[in-house]
Amino acid sequence: MKYLLLTGVLLGGLILTAWQGARFARDQAIDSLIHLAGNDLQLSQANLTGYLTRHDYLPHLLATRERVRDFLAQPAGQRDVAALNRLFDRTRERAGVYDVYLLDRGGTAIAASNWRRPDTFLGHNYAFRGYYRQAINGRGGRFHALGTQSGTRGYYFSAPVWDANHTPDTPPDGVMVIKVGLDAIEREWQRLDAQLLVTDINGIVFMASDPALRLTALQPMSDGARRGLRTTRRYADEPLPDLGLEVTESLTNGARLIRLQGREYLSLSRPMARFNWNLRILKSLTPVVRAQWLGATVAGGAWMLLALGAAIGWQRKRIRRERERFAERERRTLARTRDELERHVAERTEALLDSNRHLSQEIEERKRAEESLRQTRDELLQTARLAVLGQLAASINHELNQPLTAIRAYADNARVLLERDRPDDAAANLVQIVELIERMAAISAQLRQFSRQSSETLTHVAVQECFDYALRLFHARLVEAGTIVETDFDARHLWVRADPVRLEQVLVNLIGNALQAMQESSPPRLELSAIQEGERIILSVADNGTGLTEEGLSHLFEPFYTTRPAGKGLGLGLSISQRIVSDLGGRLEARNREEGGALFLIYLPAASGDPSYA
């Protein structure tokens, strides 16, 4: 029960305080809004008055010009209407008004600045307009209305036009009229954070910053007032609908709170006796509503802070006792936790040390494995080269046997010739023996070069020289098989960045495979080419052999895959060749030719820079 009573007191005090705060904030916000609206209204009234009256002199000035007076003095058939129209148009443009026109004594427009427009005033009678009646009676006229021809709103200034020799009793010969547009001043109003309205004595909104409010009635109009407006055609045939403005509260200084089109506004007005108007400003009450909510929130928050302060004071004593008991329990718990944490840290540290030792061992094992893999790869490359040498053994043996047989014959002949005391002929045989030995040495040098270990250092390599070396290595087989070798090399030397030993191995593998595939071809034709396309060099090896099967194309670069009989190949040549080309930054492709046979393409990046400095 005690807690229910305390809760009721708190809620009641909160509601009362919030209501008082909202009421005070509303009064302050409305006073501030009235002051702001009054300043905006005074400034807007001064701007509107200045905007309209700055053109007050213009009809009087034009009415005194000799050209206008002479124009009216001339018979209607002799008047230069076009010249006066142009004069009025220039005047309109310089003065910044909407229209300039001249009425004769009967009220008909006889010259106008808008003579070229479809809605020109020429030929129309405006005797019903107030500005005409005021000026034809000998005084300046003012009038606001909706144009009967153009349909645009404007403020009209008029002045009587007399002959230079007129007497005080002479009626005016015509009426000079200017029309001032209102759109510019309304566009300036739209920059304000408010609605501005200009109403006439009938409560008709003639000007407004909101286009939707123009030519409407603030209050319902009587039938008599509507008939009077139709007589002067001030607003043409506009229906002038009722806006239904509702006053909800009257405030000080003539201010009111109104409801217009479902929205709440603060309304403040000032009379403009010079124009027989009333200028009204409408300020949205949104800031007032926000101020009310803010005031209620601040007041309620202050009440809650007071209540909270009292509650805190009451709770502090209770909390202090609880805190002392809690601190004792916390000290005991903290001691147990600290001991447990130290034990866990020690265990975790030992586990991390074990993990680091295992990781170090794994790193060392991985390094050894990588080194072993590198050595195995190099050994495999060397094995593949030696396998190619094994395949070439028969032809190499044939090339070496021929000069050995010839050397033996030349040596026997030389011995016989020396026995017969013919040293000159014996010397000629010895020269032939030396030439044959040099030939054998060249063959041996080629074998040593192909079987040497790679340096794994990339240098500038001439593509044509690699092809020449591979062809020399297969010279005996090419001659024996009667192979036609066709080359298509670029006229200039083509250079790539590569390891010459590995690139030569790739070409030897491809040419050896081509010769193997052309054993049944008659005649066998080997086509070699090297061209440059942009930043890459394309090497190709083509044959007219049996070509590649579908299965062969799908497994061509797999290790140990071969189509040769058992014991005739390891199935590593193309797999190693693809690996070598990939390490050099290129790619190796294979396809069948339309005319028959296989085509192997090597794409390598062209070497940059001058090879002479490589």
Strands of the sheet with 141-146, listed across from one edge: 109-112, 99-104, 174-181, 153-161, 141-146
CATH T-level assignment (fold) for domain 58-181: Beta-Lactamase (3.30.450)
pLDDT reading at 533 higher than 80: yes
* b/e 412-422 (16+ beta carbons within 10 angstroms → b): ebbeebeeeee
pLDDT reading at 14 higher than 90: no
Dihedral of the CA atoms 508, 511, 514, 515 (nearest 10)?
-90
In this prediction, residues 524-543 reach a mean pLDDT of 93
Instruction: Give the C-alpha separation, 528 to 542, whole Å.
Output: 7
Cβ(510)–Cβ(601) below 8 Å: no
Question: How deeply is 260 buried, as exposed, middle or buried, from its count of CB atoms within 10 A (0-12, 13-18, 19+)?
Answer: middle
Cβ(141)–Cβ(134) below 8 Å: yes
pLDDT reading at 221 higher than 80: no
The reported pTM is 0.47
CATH architecture under which domain 455-613 falls: 2-Layer Sandwich (3.30)
Place of tokens 């290595």: 473
Q: What tens digit of pLDDT does each residue of 71-126 get?
A: 988 888 888 899 999 999 999 999 989 999 999 999 999 999 999 998 898 999 98
Q: What tens digit of pLDDT does each residue of 382-400 get?
A: 565 555 555 555 556 555 6
Ranges of CATH 3.30.565.10 domains, the chain: 455-613
Q: Look at residue 358 and give its three-state secondary structure.
A: helix
Residue 603's pLDDT is 95
Mean pLDDT score of the chain: 82
Instruction: Give the C-alpha separation, 508 to 241, whole Å.
Output: 102
Q: How many CA atoms lie within 13 A of 330 on its CB side?
A: 6
Strongest mean pLDDT among 235-249, 375-389, 506-520, 560-574 = 506-520
Task: Kindly state the tokens that stand for 353.
Answer: 């040390």
Task: Kindly state the tokens that stand for 492.
Answer: 């200039």
Dihedral of the CA atoms 225, 231, 237, 239 (nearest 10)?
10
Ranges of CATH 3.30.450.20 domains, the chain: 58-181
Q: Which amino acid is at 304?
A: M
